[in-house]
Amino acid sequence: MRLDHSFTVPVPVDAAWPVLLDLPTVAPCLPGARLGDYDGETFAGTVQVKLGPIALEYRGQGRFVERDEAAHRAVIEASGRDTRSAGTARATVTAVLAPDGDATRVQVATELTVTGRPAQFGRNLLADVSGRLVEQFADCLAARLGESGATQAPPAEPVDLIRVTAGTASFRRYARYALLAGAALVAWLLIRGRRRPA
């Protein structure tokens, strides 16, 4: 699936470009992410995700496949596997920076393939989740690039997808189905209990 997002950072393109390519600087702004080995081209790391009581931890690697400084365009390929199940994730992320007054507009296009439990929730929920995570990333990055740039990013913690998507249309839709399923289960248990011989 393809996911498109954009955000603005409060510095000119020439200042934003090197920072966005500096993974040790930006990784703490990625919710749930921890950067491991990094040699300037390839990297390894983990991303922790929670879906209520379900915890996922993707461990994987990635690399820069394009860094065009003149066009301010970068492409990253990354893949990982859930350490607790057979689920996998693979992404190609293309970021293009452009001037936006005194700031920089960042356009991000992600080609994402997931298998396992997250794939069951469909494109709409994954789009909502990724949109919220991009907002959190942009806010953190803006703080680091702006006057409060010295502020430390919060420790990497598992991203709770239920908390992230609370209030969105997708969350309400899936929550409604969950409530209906729960009500049906309770009704079935009550009927079953009544049918049991004394």
Residue 130 has pLDDT above 60, yes or no: yes
Cα–Cα distances in angstroms (integers) from residue 74 to residues 17, 64, 66, 95, 191, in the given order: 9, 7, 5, 5, 59
Within 8 A by CB and 6+ apart from 135, the residues are: 7
Parallel, antiparallel or unpaired: strands 33-38 and 2-9: unpaired
| Residues 133-168: tens digit of each pLDDT | 888 888 888 888 775 444 444 444 555 555 545 555
Mean pLDDT of 31-58: 86
Distance CA 181, CA 174 (A): 11
pLDDT of residue 158: 55
Alpha-carbon distance of 161 to 174, in angstroms, equals 12
Confidence of residue 126 (pLDDT cuts 50, 70, 90): confident
Q: Which of 163, 25, 144 minimizes the C-alpha distance to 33? A: 25
The token duo for 144 is: 């680091």
Strands 42-51 and 159-160: parallel
Closest CA to 151 of 3, 67, 28: 28
Question: Average pLDDT, whole number, for the chain?
Answer: 78
State how beta strands 88-100 and 103-114 pair.
antiparallel
* 24: amino acid identity, one letter: P
Q: What is the pLDDT of residue 97?
A: 97
Q: What is the pLDDT of residues 94-112, one digit of tens each?
A: 999 999 999 999 999 999 8
Taking alpha carbons only, the member of 106, 123, 124 closest to residue 114 is 123
Q: Which residues have CB under 8 Å from 143's CB, separation 6+?
A: 149, 151
- Say what percent of the chain tops pLDDT 70: 71
State residue 42's pLDDT score. Answer: 95
User: In angstroms, rounded to a whole number, what is the distance separating the alpha carbons of residues 141 and 108?
Assistant: 15
Of 70-74, 87-91, 92-96, 104-108, the one with minimum mean pLDDT is 87-91
